[in-house]
Each structure stands twice: as C-alpha cells, then as structure tokens.
Chain A
Amino acid sequence: MKRSCVLFLSVLLMLSAASMGFAAYPEKTIQGYIMWGAGGGTDNFARAITPLVEKHLGGSIVLQNKVGASGALATTLVVNSAGDGYSLLYGAENPANYRVLGLSPLSFHDLEPITVAVEGAVVICVNPETPYKTMKDLVEAAKESKKIRMATSGVGGLPYVAGAMMKNIHGTDFNYIQFDGDGPGATAVMGGHADVMPLALSTSVEYIRAGRLRGLAVLATKRVPQLPDLPCITEVYPEYAQYLPWGPFYGVFVKKGTPADVVAKLSDAFTKAMAEPRFEEYVRNSGGFKNGSTGAEAVKFLEKFESTASWLIFNAGGAKKSPAEFGIPEPRK
C-alpha cells in the first residue's frame, strides 16, 4: 500500500512536472535569426512584429541578423538547432531556391512554418526618362533588341525570376546587371544606370508616387490598393495568370520536428500580433499584404511558391540542378 502510494505520488509528480514544462514555454530567451541584413525588408518585418509577439507570448525574443549566402547561413543555423522552439528563423522566400541554385541542400521542407506573415507584389518599374510608357511598349522594345538593361539582385532573386517569367512568355531577353539588392537596384534605375527593374511594391511604391520611377504593371491578378491606377499584368497579358499569385513574402519558421504544442503556441502568438492595428498599419505602409497563414495552409503556400520559382529559374537557364531532381512538381499550366 505504502509502496504503491509512493509510486502513485511520484508518477503524479512527474506528470505535473512534465505538463508544467510544456505550459512554461517559453521558459528561457528565444533566439530570432534574421536571414537578411539590418535595414532590409526582412529585418524591418522582424523588428515590427517581434515586440508585439513578445507581449502575447510572455517571453522575450532576441533578434540578430545572421547574414550570408542568401540567408542559407541563418537557415542552416536554425535547422541545426535543438528543434525545441527556441531558435526562430525570420526569413523571406529564398530557401525555396537554395537547392536548384546549388547554394544549400536545405529548403522549406526542413522547416516548419510558424506563419507566412506578409506577402508583397512585384511591380515592373522603368526610369521615367525611358520611352516605355506601358508594359506593351517595354515588351515590344525588348523583343527587338537585347540592349535594354534590367537591374536584378542576382541569379534567383525576385527581379531575376520576374525577368524569367517575361522570357518564358514573350521570349524577351534583357541585358542583366546585378546590384546588391532591391534598394541599390532601384537607386541605379532612378539614376539611369539601368532601364528597368521588377521591384517589390514595398521598395517602389514611394518612388512611383513621387514620379522617380514609372510603374508599368503589377505582377498580380488584380490591382493593388496602394497604386490604384497601375494596371495588373493580366489586364495586359492574361497568359501571366499561370504563374500567379507569386511574389515576395516574409515569414517565421522553426526546425521541422519541433513539438506541435510549441509550434501552436508560437503560431497563436504571431496570429494575435498580426491582428494588432499597429502591425496592420506597418504592413499597409510598407506596401505589403497580410497573409497570416499558419499550419497546413502555410505549407501549401510555400510548396506552390517553390514550384513556380524553381521551374522559372530552371527554364531561364539560371539553375544548377533541375527541380525534378528534388521532386519539385512542375506548376500546372
């Protein structure tokens, strides 16, 4: 009797300790790794949402920028972490292309999305002094000559993929010039050192409003509220619909295999933070759209993006390896 009583009590104690352990997440400081540098879009997103998340999570998240190899460095760190929910990855779309670009064997399949928080749209922008007034002007001119200079952020980046889309549909080819990112590229187009650049709406919206850049079309199936006069690409060329929706996004991820209740708790905290007016205002001002998907919905979103982007890069000749090697399905036409 005495022995079973002790046994019962100790089991009870263990159970309560175990449940306390779960209930206590986060019981220590969480590390947040930002895959791009200070001042960039990913960094801004991370720093805008984290203070709000901390409030709902009841723990603190220490943010640090781990820049390198298009974010593969930060991704590797998180994938190599303990998988206990104490290492978060604040990232953009890049891991979808690591494998085809030969940068890293990792991809979104090694991560568990906490949320795909914000989506953006891409606008085809030109220098206002160029003669291209509409998307048709640009496409026709590009078909005739290969001398139009398109600024990109390097092979596999968003502008490159948008260029690949145009190549697949119209057979156009540009003279690509690589810059250090969206911002420096936009600066170069404004200075006339490149003619055209597909730019994230967040980077370009203020320049377009001020007339420093001319927007030709937004790569989306409907117009964006930030620039209501700007036609969407499917109004001009309906054939783009096969690749859309496609665009930049920012999300938060943990290592695959992180306990489900931890993931749920994090997702819950991020969902609450995204609902705050302060965050919604930030998203609106920065030219983005709230996505906010979690769980299976987020996984589906990531798979669709991976399929579109990696096949476009492959068909444009920018890939080291075929997406088929990794079992990435070709997008449905």
Chain B
Amino acid sequence: MAQNLQYFLIPFLQPEMMLLIWVGVFAGIWVGAIPGLSVTMAASLLISFTFSWDINSALALICGVFVGGVYGGAITAILINIPGAPAAIATAMDGYPLAQMGEAGKAIGLCTTVSVFASFVGIVVLAVAAPVIANFSLKFAPRDFFLLAVMGLLLIGSIGGGDPIKGITAGAVGVLLSMVGMDPSTGELRYTFGNLYLMAGISFVTAMIGLFGVSEALTQFRSSGMKSPKQNLDRIIPSWATFLKYLPLSLRSALLGVFIGALPGTGGDVAALLAYDQAKRSTKHPSRPFGKGALEGIIAPETANKGAIGGAFIPMLTLGIPGDAVTAIIIGALFIHGLKPGPMLMIETPHLFWMIVSCLSIASVALMVLGLISVKPFAKIIEIPKEIVMPVVIILSVIGTYAIQNSVVDIFYMIGFGIIGYFLRLYGYATGPMVLGLILGPMLDANYRRTMQGAENQILPFLQGFVTSPISLFLTLSIVFLLFSQTATYRRWRGLE
C-alpha cells in the first residue's frame, strides 16, 4: 500500500511531468474542440514526438491530451453545433440550443464541473475495481455488443425530432451508408462500384462534420439577418445546489460511461449516446424539454464520456486489451518504449498503473482550472455576427475534415453530407439519427454476423443465446422494457402522462 502511494506520487515529485500534464490538457482542449482533429490522432503523433523521451513523461503528456481532448469536443458542440468528436454528438443536442438562448457560459461551466466529477469517478473505479471489471468485460459476447448497438439505435426515438417515420428513415439511411466498403467478414465489396475510395468506406466523422456543422451553417444563411444571441456570462460556475441536484444523474451516467469504456472496442461515443438516451427516459421533469436545451442533456453524455476515460484504461492496464482507440495507441507507445503491455504489466511494472491513475487525477484538476478560465472567451466567440462566424465554421469544417487523413475526397463527402443535411432539416428530418446509424451500423452488422456464425447459421441456437446467457438476457430485457416504457399503458401507469 505504501509502495502504491509512492508510485502515485511520482508525477507530483517531478515538476516536469506535472507541467507536461497541464500542457497536455491545454493542448487537448484545442485538439478536441477542432472538429476532425481527434485525441486518437494527437496521441499517435505524440508517440513519434516523444520517442526519445522518458516513458513517464510521454505518458503524462498523453494522459493530459486524452482528458483535455474528450472535454474539448463539447465546446464546439455547444457553441457551433459541430461536435469536436463523436463522443460529443449527444452534447450538441441540448448544448447548442442553450447557446442560442444566450446560455453558452452556463452550459460550458456546468459541462466542465460535471466532467471533472465524472473523470474522478472513472479514476476511482479504475483504481479500486480494475481487475474485476476487466474480467467481466471479457464476458461480453458479440451478441451483447449487437444488443448494445440495438439499444443505441433506440436513441433515434429521442433525437429523431417529432416524427418517428422521419427519424427512422434518416437512421436507416445512416446504417445503409455505413455498409459501403468492404464487408467486415468476407471482404466482399459492397456498394463500391469499383471505386477505391468507396472501398475504404465512409468515415462517420466526415459525415458528422457535414451533417452537423455545414448543414447548420447553411440553415443559418437561410435565416440571415438574425442576430447572434447575446451571451449571459454572470453565473458560469454552477452553484452547489445545482451540482447536488444533478449529482445522482451525474454519478449514474459516469458509472455507465466507465463500464462502456471498459468494454473492449467501445468508447466514449457509445457511452455518451446511451447515457443521453437513459437520461431522457428517466428524467421526469427536465429543466427544459430534451432537445431544446435541457441541462440533463448535457450532463448525461458529458459525464459518460469522461467516465469512459478511466474505463478505457481498465482492460488496457490489467489485460493489455485496449478499451478504445486511444488506449490502443498507448499500448503501442509502451511497446516502443520497451515495455510489455499485457496481463503481466501490472505484476512486472506495478508503478505504471498507479502513475497513470495519478496522471489522470492531475489532468482532471487541470481540466477544472483551464476549463473554467476559458469559458468566457469561448462563449464570446458566438457573439460575433453570424455572417462572420458561419463562413468560419465552414472553413473549419473543411480543414478539420482534411486533417482526419489528409484526403481531399473526404472533403467532398463532408460537403455532400452538409448539403444533404440542409435539405433534411428543410423538410423536418433530424440529422442526428443518420450519424447515429453510421456509427452503430458497423457494430450492428459485424456482431450480428459473428453471433450468427457462432450459432452455425442456425436460427434456433441463434435465438437461444439471447435467453441462455445472463448478460444477453439482461440486455434483451432492458430493450424490451425500453420499448414497453414508451407505450401509453406504461406511461399512464407511471403517471407520466
């Protein structure tokens, strides 16, 4: 125990590491905020950059960027409706309407506070229960990932606008578009027309930037002459009463985030989407209706994606299995620095575990300070007249899209999605479900096929699996309940209507 404490104190005793974490968080906020620039990208660049450094310093910087980057995604989501990262999609749903009402400062301030709280929840779970959760997460079969994807798709009901048919249509188109490219199991080419660029598939990040950012800018041009909302910057830091009021929701969403983050291959994006849906269904009296600036709609996804940071480290540090894309890169960094990431990592190099816990904690404190300092300047940005901001949004979208993988083709996709998004909005379709379909489509497709292959393509053993495995049964029942809870009978019984 004393030894663990000693490991925990490593970054505190090295001013250089301390500084690097702060620098990392600061840089991460910007990387996260700029759409297209992702934490994954930053982390892989940092591997080359920190090649000749000591591993501790390299990890300190990467941890800082990780925490800052996940947070930064929310800033642009709230301010200009472009989620800086997929994990902030749900945040845009209520954050942007709030900013349009002049409450951007309040939204970002609340987002910062609950983010730091959730980040600590993730770290505590990581420190206390990592081996248990890691072993449990291994038990998730392809069937369970399929069920999680189905659960995610139910979110269309929450973000699809008023008309279910329109929401489902947009979602289905998204799933269909996600099928473009190589079939994940046979390598067969689907909808590619022999075109190499279509073979690579359609990146959902380009779709996200187009459908959210550019289509919003185009819609704004239509209503030109509209004044930018004057921002109210009096009370940025939420009061204790507000914080305590939302504490149960924050804790619940953060824990959900930790767990989803700990599942191999699912990260903050899926966690945030599920948490938003869960919050929408369970909150009886939101501060405003969901989708129109509910504070709950910011808290749930933002706490979930911060919790997912600690979560993603759980299987990585205990088993050497990445919990998400960023931890996959950190595993690579460990290899390059001469360590052996795997189940023996914690036994052979125990200092690493506690040092990472410590780095993440310092990063969360840094986030609190740097996040709150930058609320005012950020919120001021959207007081700039729309004629100036919106062209900048489009330029930023183009640069961000190009940055994903230096591909000009992606820019065309992005603009195409922007125009499609504009017409979708014009005719009352929400763009969120389409992005949702693109994100969840591959997860749905690949895991359904794996489950089917596991059942030797027999329908009966396939269906049996849903009731014989406890995890699958639980998830199946949850989905049934979620569907049932929308029926009039249930709502009358619970007094919701």
Question: Cβ of A186: which chain B residues have Cβ within 8 Å of it?
Answer: 321
Q: Is the CB of B200 within 8 A of A187?
A: no
Question: Cβ of B122: which chain A residues have Cβ within 8 Å of it?
Answer: none
Q: Is the CB of B138 within 8 A of A72?
A: no
Q: Using a CB-CB cutoff of 8 Å, which residues 281-322 of chain B contact chain A? A: 319-322
Closest residue of chain B to A202, judged by CB?
B335
Q: Does A51 contact B (CB under 8 A)?
A: yes
* Interface 9-mer from A15-23, A61-69, A118-126, A131-139: A61-69
Known contacts A183-B321, A209-B342; decide if A191 and B140 are in contact (CB<8 Å): yes
Contact code string B438-460 (vs A, CB < 8 Å = 1, else 0) = 00000000100110011010000
Q: Is the CB of A184 within 8 A of B200?
A: no
Q: Is the CB of A180 within 8 A of B265?
A: yes
Cβ distance A273 to chain B, nearest Cβ, rounded Å: 12
Q: Using a CB-CB cutoff of 8 Å, which residues 328-380 of chain B contact chain A? A: 328-329, 331-332, 335-336, 338-345
Q: Using a CB-CB cutoff of 8 Å, which residues 265-322 of chain A contact chain B? A: 278, 281-282, 285-286
Partner of B182, one of A39, A64, A69, A278: A69
* Interface 9-mer from A170-178, A241-249, A323-331: A170-178
Q: Is the CB of A209 within 8 A of B184?
A: no
Q: Is the CB of B182 within 8 A of A206?
A: no
Bound-complex Cα distance A193 to B450 (A)? 9
Partner of A178, one of B138, B140, B199, B450: B450
Closest residue of chain A to B337, judged by CB?
A282
Cβ distance B394 to chain A, nearest Cβ, rounded Å: 24
Cβ distance A179 to chain B, nearest Cβ, rounded Å: 7
Q: Is the CB of A73 within 8 A of B199?
A: yes
* Interface 9-mer from B46-54, B68-76, B91-99: B46-54
Q: Does B227 contact A (CB under 8 A)?
A: no
Contact code string B115-146 (vs A, CB < 8 Å = 1, else 0) = 00000000000000000000000111110000
Bound-complex Cα distance A191 to B144 (A)? 12
Which of B48, B341, B449 is the most central at the interface, judged by chain A CB atoms within 10 Å of its CB?
B48
Cβ distance A278 to chain B, nearest Cβ, rounded Å: 8
Closest residue of chain B to A64, judged by CB?
B406
Cβ distance A318 to chain B, nearest Cβ, rounded Å: 9
Q: Is the CB of B343 within 8 A of A44?
A: no
Known contacts A149-B454, A180-B446, A282-B335; decide if A70 and B48 are in contact (CB<8 Å): no
Q: Is the CB of A64 within 8 A of B405?
A: yes
Known contacts A47-B47, A154-B185, A285-B335; decide if A68 and B199 are in contact (CB<8 Å): yes
Cβ distance A247 to chain B, nearest Cβ, rounded Å: 18
Bound-complex Cα distance A48 to B201 (A)? 28
Q: Is the CB of A183 within 8 A of B322?
A: yes
Q: Is the CB of B320 within 8 A of A207?
A: yes
Question: Cβ of B339: which chain A residues have Cβ within 8 Å of it?
Answer: 285
Cβ distance B148 to chain A, nearest Cβ, rounded Å: 15
Bound-complex Cα distance A155 to B265 (A)? 21
Q: Is the CB of B340 within 8 A of A206?
A: yes
Partner of A282, one of B264, B338, B345: B338
Question: Cβ of A72: which chain B residues have Cβ within 8 Å of it?
Answer: 196, 199
Q: Does B44 contact A (CB under 8 A)?
A: yes
Which of B41, B181, B332 is the most central at the interface, judged by chain A CB atoms within 10 Å of its CB?
B332
Known contacts A154-B186, A179-B450; decide if A187 and B138 are in contact (CB<8 Å): yes
Closest residue of chain B to A38, judged by CB?
B44
Q: Is the CB of B321 within 8 A of A39?
A: no
Question: Cβ of B338: which chain A residues have Cβ within 8 Å of it?
Answer: 278, 281-282, 285
Q: Is the CB of A178 within 8 A of B185?
A: yes
Question: Cβ of B44: which chain A residues have Cβ within 8 Å of it?
Answer: 38-39, 43, 47, 65
Cβ distance A214 to chain B, nearest Cβ, rounded Å: 13
Question: Cβ of B405: which chain A residues have Cβ within 8 Å of it?
Answer: 64-67
Known contacts A39-B325, A101-B187, A187-B264; decide if A73 and B453 are in contact (CB<8 Å): no
Cβ distance A148 to chain B, nearest Cβ, rounded Å: 11
Known contacts A47-B48, A72-B196; decide if A177 and B450 are in contact (CB<8 Å): yes
Q: Does B231 contact A (CB under 8 A)?
A: no
Contacts between the two chains (Cβ within 8 Å), count: 150
Q: Is the CB of A38 within 8 A of B200?
A: no
Q: Is the CB of B142 within 8 A of A193?
A: yes
Partner of B199, one of A69, A175, A180, A191: A69
Q: Does A50 contact B (CB under 8 A)?
A: yes
Q: Using a CB-CB cutoff of 8 Å, which residues 403-434 of chain B contact chain A? A: 405-407
Q: Does A258 contact B (CB under 8 A)?
A: no
Q: Is the CB of A184 within 8 A of B264?
A: yes
Q: Is the CB of B331 within 8 A of A68?
A: no
Question: Cβ of A149: which chain B residues have Cβ within 8 Å of it?
Answer: 453-454
Question: Cβ of A209: which chain B residues have Cβ within 8 Å of it?
Answer: 342-344
Q: Does A212 contact B (CB under 8 A)?
A: yes
Question: Cβ of A47: which chain B residues have Cβ within 8 Å of it?
Answer: 44, 47-48, 51, 332, 336
Q: Does A156 contact B (CB under 8 A)?
A: yes
Which of A40, A69, A175 is the most central at the interface, judged by chain B CB atoms within 10 Å of its CB?
A69
Q: Is the CB of B332 within 8 A of A50?
A: no
Cβ distance B337 to chain A, nearest Cβ, rounded Å: 9
Question: Cβ of A69: which chain B residues have Cβ within 8 Å of it?
Answer: 181-182, 196, 199-200
Question: Cβ of B48: which chain A residues have Cβ within 8 Å of it?
Answer: 47, 50-51, 63
Bound-complex Cα distance A64 to B44 (A)? 9
Question: Cβ of A73: which chain B residues have Cβ within 8 Å of it?
Answer: 196-197, 199-200
Q: Does B206 contact A (CB under 8 A)?
A: no
Question: Cβ of A70: which chain B residues have Cβ within 8 Å of it?
Answer: 182, 187
Cβ distance B58 to chain A, nearest Cβ, rounded Å: 12
Q: Is the CB of A39 within 8 A of B141?
A: no
Q: Does A166 contact B (CB under 8 A)?
A: no
Known contacts A178-B184, A285-B339; decide if A39 and B138 are in contact (CB<8 Å): no
Q: Does A103 contact B (CB under 8 A)?
A: yes
Question: Cβ of A38: which chain B residues have Cβ within 8 Å of it?
Answer: 40-41, 43-44, 325, 328-329, 332
Q: Does A76 contact B (CB under 8 A)?
A: yes
Cβ distance B238 to chain A, nearest Cβ, rounded Å: 36
Cβ distance B456 to chain A, nearest Cβ, rounded Å: 6
Q: Does A188 contact B (CB under 8 A)?
A: yes
Partner of A210, one of B139, B181, B325, B342: B342
Partner of B343, one of A65, A183, A207: A207
Closest residue of chain B to A49, judged by CB?
B336
Q: Using a CB-CB cutoff of 8 Å, which residues 145-162 of chain A contact chain B? A: 147, 149, 154-156
Q: Is the CB of B196 within 8 A of A286?
A: no
Q: Is the CB of B341 within 8 A of A177?
A: no
Q: Does A111 contact B (CB under 8 A)?
A: no
Bound-complex Cα distance A216 to B104 (A)? 59
Q: List 30 A-B contacts (CB under 8 A).
A: A38-B325, A38-B332, A40-B328, A43-B44, A44-B332, A47-B51, A47-B336, A51-B48, A51-B51, A66-B407, A67-B405, A69-B182, A69-B199, A73-B199, A104-B196, A149-B453, A154-B186, A175-B454, A175-B456, A177-B142, A178-B185, A187-B321, A190-B319, A193-B454, A194-B454, A206-B342, A210-B342, A278-B338, A282-B336, A285-B339
List of 6 A-B pairs having minimum Cβ-Cβ separation, nearest first: A206-B342, A68-B200, A39-B328, A210-B343, A178-B185, A191-B138
Q: List 6 additional A-B contacts (Cβ < 8 Å) besides A76-B196, A103-B189, A207-B343.
A: A43-B44, A51-B48, A69-B196, A69-B200, A154-B184, A186-B321
